[in-house]
Every structure is written in C-alpha cells, then in structure tokens.
A and B are shown apart, each in its own frame.
Chain A
Amino acid sequence: MWKNIQYLQWKNLWRSQRLGTGIAARIFMGFFILYFGAIFLVLGLFFTEAIDESDLADRPLFALHKFVFYYLLLDIVLRVIFQEVSEVKFRQLALLPIRKRKIVQYILGGSVFSLFNILPLVFLLPVALSTMKPEYGLLPSIIWLVGMFAVLLFNNFLALQIKHFISGNPLFYVVSAGLAGLIYFLDSLGIIPFSTWFFNAFIVLTTYLWPLIIVLALTIGIYYLVEKRMLNQAYVSGSLKSSASLFEKLNFSGLSTYGFFGTVAQLNMQLMFRNKRIRTQVIFGLLFLLYGLFLYSGDRYGPTFLLFWGLYMTGIIVLSFAQYIWSYQGSYFELLNTLPMSTKQYLNAQYTFLIVACLVTTIPSMLYYFMNPDIPKINTAAFFFNVGVNIPFLLMAATYNKRKLETNTAGTFNMQGVNGAQFMFIFIVLLAPVFIYLPFSVLGYKDLGLLIVGGIGLLGLLFKPLTIRGITALFNEKKYALTEGYRSN
C-alpha cells in the first residue's frame, strides 16, 4: 500500500502544476532554493568566522543557539502563514480501500519533506560539524543534530495545529507574529532570557540523554495530536472548506461610492483577498517591506542598489498584479468583454487603482528615512517611474499573458501559468531605470540622476491618455487570442 501511495506522491510532485510548466519557472525555483541553500551552507560551515565582528564572537556556541532560537521563532511564524497541507489529497484517497490512519500518516509524512525542514538541515548539518564537533566530539554533535531536527519537526506539526485552529483568520497571523516579536523583544532586552534557556537545554543534551528524550516525546506528542485531530475530521465533508476567513469576509463596500473606479477597485480588492494565491503573494510582498530593516542598516549598498530596491518597494503590488490583470480574471474574461464598459474606461480605472496601490507601499517605505536619510528622495523617484512608465508597460505586457492563472489554489511558490517572459518583464521594469541612473551615480551626480529617473516617470504620467489609448488598441487586437487562451486552459 505504501508503495502505491508513494507512487502517487511522486507523480504528484513531478506533474504538479505548482512547479509550473515553463522552464523559466523551474529555473527560478531552482535559483531560489540554491540561493538560500548556499547562504545556509556557507553560514553553517563558517559560523565562527561569520560572527567574528559581533559582540558574541567569544561565545560562538551561545551565539549559535541564539541564532537558531530566533530562526525557530521566525520559522513558526512563516510556517503558520505559508506552509500548507493538502486536504484535497484526502478526498482522492478516501474511497479507496486504504485505512484512514494510513492516509493521514501519508499526508503528515509528506509534510516532513517540505523546504521548511530541509533548508535548515543544510545549515544545521555543517554547523554541527564545524562548530559543535570541535567542542564536544562527534557523537554528542550527532545527538545535538537529532535534537535540533526534532525541534524543527515539532514546529512543523505545531504549525499545522495552529493553522487549523485559526483557519486562515489573518488576525491570528498578526497575533502569532506579534507573539514571536514579543518573545524576541523580551529576550534581546534580557528581560526573560529565552535563548539562554534554549542554549542551556541543548548544551545539557551533549552530556545527558534525558533532554533529547523530552524533545522527542514532545515532537511525537504533537504529531499524535495532529494525527488524532485529522482522523476525527477525516471525512470528505470535514475537509471541505466550510467558512470563509475574516479576510475573505471583507467586501470593501466602502469603495463602491467612487463611481466606476470604485466598482473596479472593489472587485480588485475582492480578487486580491479572496483568492489564496494572490493574497499570499500580496501579503508576502508586504512582508518584504520589512526586509528594508536589514538592507538599510549600515552602509552596505550603493545608491544604484538602493534605487533598485526602491523600485521594488514602491511597486510591490504593481509588480505582482499589473501584468496578470487579465490572466487573474481569466475565469470570467468573457463576462468582462460583454459588459457595457469600454476598454479605455476600464483600463483607466485599473491604472488609477495601481497608482493608489503604489502609494500604499510608498508611504510607509518613507519611514526608512530614519535609517537612511536618502530613502525618501530615492523612493519618490522610484514611485514616479513606477507610476509613469512601469504601470503602462506592465499593462501592455498583460495582453500577452494568454494562460489563465488558477487564483485560488495554493499560494506559496505557485508557478502554474507563469513563464519566462513574465520574469523578463519584471527584470526590464526594475533594471531599466537602474541603468538610466547608473552613469549619473558613477559620475557623482546622484541627485540629477534621481531627478531624471523621476522626471521620465512624470512625463509618462503626463502622457497617460496617450499610453491608455495605445494599450486599448493593443487589447482590442489581442482580446480574441486571450479569450481563446483562457477558454482552453
């Protein structure tokens, strides 16, 4: 029986739509995994060297455990938001003569092979050898590694359990992120030294076995809790989605007062928040706004890179929405085409919506002024370029996306319907202004460069009626191909 189930899982993995059919999508995924894998590997191999300049340089083992502890905190939050266990699988198997317990075990067993568990191993394995082994010897290091992996698995199943209880309610995402933040805060200020406890517990592990037994017992315990819960609701109806989450219940009716624009904007917001895939992308993008806390600290990056980052930050929503504006709506594309609204009027409304979306991320990004006083300048230029050039460019690119995107299937790393051209468009959009800016910044005319980048954007905005007319003409030419494309897949 296991063999059959494994066969299914294997096919499922390789034929999964999420992997994407395009080579580019696979390459992108490959790079993504390689990039983080490489970072983890190098960090693992050279951990002592990496912390050379921090104030914990003389206590590498403590630093290691502090780092792992913070990672685990982040890990649980990320898992709660992004990790998914397919309950559809259960429906496929429910009527076959396989014991329910087996199916549940198979589903849960599958979750062990997620990137969340494998990537950290790429760090933990070398770090056990490079940092733990010289101090404690081989066997204790292995036991330490087993203990760490058990904690990861504990997180794995805990996240599934938490996820079940909050059933997609975004308020709880905020709460769990806040809780993790609070623990981090209490620890880093030394009010409650969680990481020291964590350190002590794992150091004991190298001499005594009983902490390992406790960790393993906890992991097995939480596994049984999850298994029991899933067995209890292992009925097809139980795994069907019952109620909409809070996010999905928002209907954004406030927008409807703004005439036609309001109607389009309201539909866009509903599209964004009621479809798992788009919602995950947008939330993920917004979380990336916080990446600035890391990027802007110190003077690591030159102005050209900051402009690149500024373009990304001010355009997060535009980048993940504008060029899919038709393919996201592929499932009702024919309705849009028979309703009495002109393409021009519709595109105008979408343009305005995207400008507002840019503002939504640009304004909070200005707060980075407190970390680097150049940011408001850079991001303003980036904002204008996004609004004046990138929006119309991506709206134009959208008319070439003939594949309908499955909007409500799994969110994270979903590559269905994505192909190389779309990545290329994103690169063009982010790199073109950087290349315009580069010579000015090299020659030392940084402000002039920003002025020119922003100026081009402003010019684009002034010519908006013209660009809209162009996109309308292009759309009217391409709409038949789009209809056919969305119909056939």
Chain B
Amino acid sequence: MIEIKNLVKRYGRTVATEIESLVIHPGERIGLVGNNGAGKTTLISLMLDLIKADAGEVIMLGDNVTVSENWKSQISAFLDETFVIDYLTPDEYFKFIAKVRNIEESLVEERLSSLTQFFNGQIRDQKKYIRDLSKGNKKKVGIAGALLANPKILFLDEPFANLDPSSQILLQRIIAGQPEDMTIFVSSHDLTHIGEVCKRVIILENGKIVKDLESNANTTVELKSYFAAKSDLNEV
C-alpha cells in the first residue's frame, strides 16, 4: 500500500528523516510517536509530496508520489490549520471538499451526521467562518473534512491536541470505527491515545525509526517507560 525506500531529508546538517525501508499494508492503523523535532510531520509531509526528499522515494498505491497525482483521489489528510479554508463556514468547507472530490450530497450528509456527537452542536449550521472558531473546533472541521473523503489512506497529524477530553475519547471511537480496510496514519505526543487506537506503533527519533512494534495491552505502558527512560538519559 505504502512503501518507503531509502528516504532522506536534511535541513542543512540536521537529518529530518532517514528511513531505509518501511512498508505499510492495507487496513493497518499506524501510530507515529516521538518527541518534538523527531520528524513526525516531516515524514507525513514527505509521504504527501509536500516536501521534496533529498533521496529515496515514497510509493503510494503503486505510484511514486512525486511523479503521479492519481493517489490523491485515494487519500485524505489533516495535518494542521493549513488544511482548512478559514474564510468559509464549516458547511461551505465541507461542500467545497465534496465538490472537488465528487462526493454525492446524500453521502456527505450521511458521513457528517455520523459525526454529530463529535461536533457537539458547534460546527454545522453555524454562521461563523472557520477563522472565528476556537482552535478545537477548527480541528474538528479539518478532521471531518478528511473523513468526508472516506479514503483508502487517512493521515492525521496530532489530531488529539487542542481537543477537549470528551472529544478526544469520541475521536478515538471515530477512528476505531472507520471501515476495516482503511489505512490510518496517526501521529501524536499522547501515548495513551496511540495505544488505544493503533495496532502498530512506530517510534521516531532524529528522523529515524527506532522502534516498530505491534501494539497490545501493554503498549501504552511500554511506550511510557521508553520515553521516561529517554528523558532520564538526557538529564545525565
């Protein structure tokens, strides 16, 4: 489904990403964890052809991402606020996404109504522009916009940050409730959420994959002890 080969990205001397090989299979739920500056966003951006790699390639659904644009109809992503159009109302934004993606109106309604609880009455039928919404609500709009596409591969960067506790739990359920064949890529600082949602956890450090583990009941504890140990090391 996604294949990464010898991918390298440097900013000056700093290595932002250096991945020899990574293969992602259909339906996998992948959690990307790491401290600030570990290269999570860079890796996702490379996969989405938003950043140009210095070497190596990303093959998405059979195409090199830098060559073909076909994969774009099969994926959707929400990385940050640069994925919402701030002078539209949420409803107009959803409509725009639906039009560009050729999604039927009835399907749009169906998919959005499944998020009613998540929206908590503050997103739809509002006369506010997205730029006037709170950070958390902006995020909800962006996530909903990405879910609207019902893609084969979904990328979410830090989706839990800025959400209130109830919304975080709801979002966990929403992600878990997506069709089984959907591949989902979630990056997060929050180890608990990753442990809940993802079956495969990749730990990044200085742009490299340092651990790639199958998640089980103990994953969260394991992750926590890993990062705790790291910070102890740094103190010495």
Which residues of A come within 8 Å of B, CB atoms? 241, 243-244, 248, 251, 256, 260, 263, 266-267, 270-271, 274-275, 331-335, 337-343, 407-408, 480, 483-484, 486-487
Q: Flag B68-79 by CB within 8 Å of A: 1 or 0 each.
A: 010011011101
Q: B129 contacts A340, CB within 8 Å?
A: no
**Residues in B45-66 with C-beta less than 8 Å from chain A:** 45, 48-52
Q: Main secondary structure on chain A at its contact with chain B?
A: helix
Say how far B169's CB is from chain A's closest CB, in angstroms: 27
| Chain A residues with CB below 8 A from B129, complex form | 244, 248, 274
Q: B82 contacts A334, CB within 8 Å?
A: yes
Complex partner residue of A332 from B45, B49, B75, B83, CB under 8 angstroms: B83
Say how far B85's CB is from chain A's closest CB, in angstroms: 5
Q: A338 contacts B51, CB within 8 Å?
A: no
Q: A408 contacts B92, CB within 8 Å?
A: no
Chain B contact patch, size range: 20 to 34
Say how far B68's CB is from chain A's closest CB, in angstroms: 10
CA distance A267 to B76 in the complex (A): 20
Instruction: Please give me the residue from chain A that is nearest to B80 by CB atom.
Output: A334
Q: List 14 A-B contacts (CB under 8 A).
A: A243-B127, A263-B99, A274-B87, A332-B85, A333-B82, A334-B48, A334-B82, A339-B97, A340-B72, A340-B73, A340-B101, A407-B87, A408-B87, A408-B131
**Residues in B81-97 with C-beta less than 8 Å from chain A:** 81-88, 92, 95-97
CA distance A339 to B102 in the complex (A): 11
Total inter-chain residue pairs, C-beta < 8 Å? 77
Q: B82 contacts A338, CB within 8 Å?
A: no
| Chain A residues with CB below 8 A from B52, complex form | 480
Say how far B197's CB is from chain A's closest CB, in angstroms: 22
Q: A337 contacts B100, CB within 8 Å?
A: no
Cβ of B132 under 8 Å from chain A: yes
Say how far B55's CB is from chain A's closest CB, in angstroms: 15
- Known contacts A241-B132, A340-B73; A334 and B99 CB within 8 A of each other: no
CA distance A407 to B85 in the complex (A): 12
Q: Flag B158-182 by CB within 8 Å of A: 1 or 0 each.
A: 0000000000000000000000000
> Which of B48, B51, B75, B100 counts the most A-chain CB atoms under 10 A from its CB?
B100
Q: B82 contacts A335, CB within 8 Å?
A: yes
Instruction: Please give me the residue from chain A that is nearest to B149 by CB atom.
Output: A340
Instruction: Please give me the residue from chain B that is nearest to A267 by CB atom.
Output: B96
Q: A480 contacts B100, CB within 8 Å?
A: no
| Chain B residues with CB below 8 A from A480, complex form | 50-52
| Chain A residues with CB below 8 A from B97, complex form | 339
Q: A338 contacts B76, CB within 8 Å?
A: yes
Q: B127 contacts A338, CB within 8 Å?
A: no
Q: B50 contacts A334, CB within 8 Å?
A: yes
Q: B86 contacts A332, CB within 8 Å?
A: yes
Instruction: Please give me the residue from chain A that is nearest to B130 by CB atom.
Output: A332
Which residues of B come within 8 Å of A, CB atoms? 45, 48-52, 69, 72-73, 75-77, 79, 81-88, 92, 95-97, 99-101, 127, 129, 131-132
- Known contacts A270-B88, A334-B79, A340-B72; A244 and B96 CB within 8 A of each other: no
Instruction: Please give me the residue from chain B that is nearest to A407 by CB atom.
Output: B87
Instruction: Please give me the residue from chain B that is nearest to A329 by CB atom.
Output: B85
Say how far B162's CB is from chain A's closest CB, in angstroms: 18
Q: A331 contacts B132, CB within 8 Å?
A: no
Say how far A298's CB is from chain B's closest CB, in angstroms: 44
| Chain A residues with CB below 8 A from B69, complex form | 340, 342-343
CA distance A48 to B162 in the complex (A): 67
Q: A339 contacts B99, CB within 8 Å?
A: no
| Chain A residues with CB below 8 A from B132, complex form | 241
CA distance A266 to B100 in the complex (A): 12
The 6 A-B residue pairs with the shortest CB-CB distance, nearest first, are A340-B73, A340-B72, A274-B87, A480-B52, A334-B82, A335-B83
| Chain B residues with CB below 8 A from A407, complex form | 87
Q: A339 contacts B101, CB within 8 Å?
A: yes
CA distance A483 to B88 in the complex (A): 21
Say how far B223's CB is from chain A's closest CB, in angstroms: 29
Q: B51 contacts A341, CB within 8 Å?
A: no
Q: B82 contacts A487, CB within 8 Å?
A: yes
| Chain B residues with CB below 8 A from A335, complex form | 82-85
Complex partner residue of A338 from B77, B86, B92, CB under 8 angstroms: B77
Q: A332 contacts B100, CB within 8 Å?
A: no
Say how far A39's CB is from chain B's closest CB, in angstroms: 37
- Known contacts A241-B132, A244-B127, A408-B87; A338 and B50 CB within 8 A of each other: yes
| Chain A residues with CB below 8 A from B84, complex form | 332, 335
| Chain B residues with CB below 8 A from A270, complex form | 87-88, 92
Q: A483 contacts B50, CB within 8 Å?
A: yes
| Chain A residues with CB below 8 A from B127, complex form | 243-244
CA distance A243 to B75 in the complex (A): 36
CA distance A487 to B92 in the complex (A): 24
Q: B99 contacts A338, CB within 8 Å?
A: no
Say how far A141's CB is from chain B's closest CB, in angstroms: 51
CA distance A411 to B82 in the complex (A): 22
Complex partner residue of B82 from A243, A244, A331, CB under 8 angstroms: A331
| Chain B residues with CB below 8 A from A340, complex form | 69, 72-73, 100-101
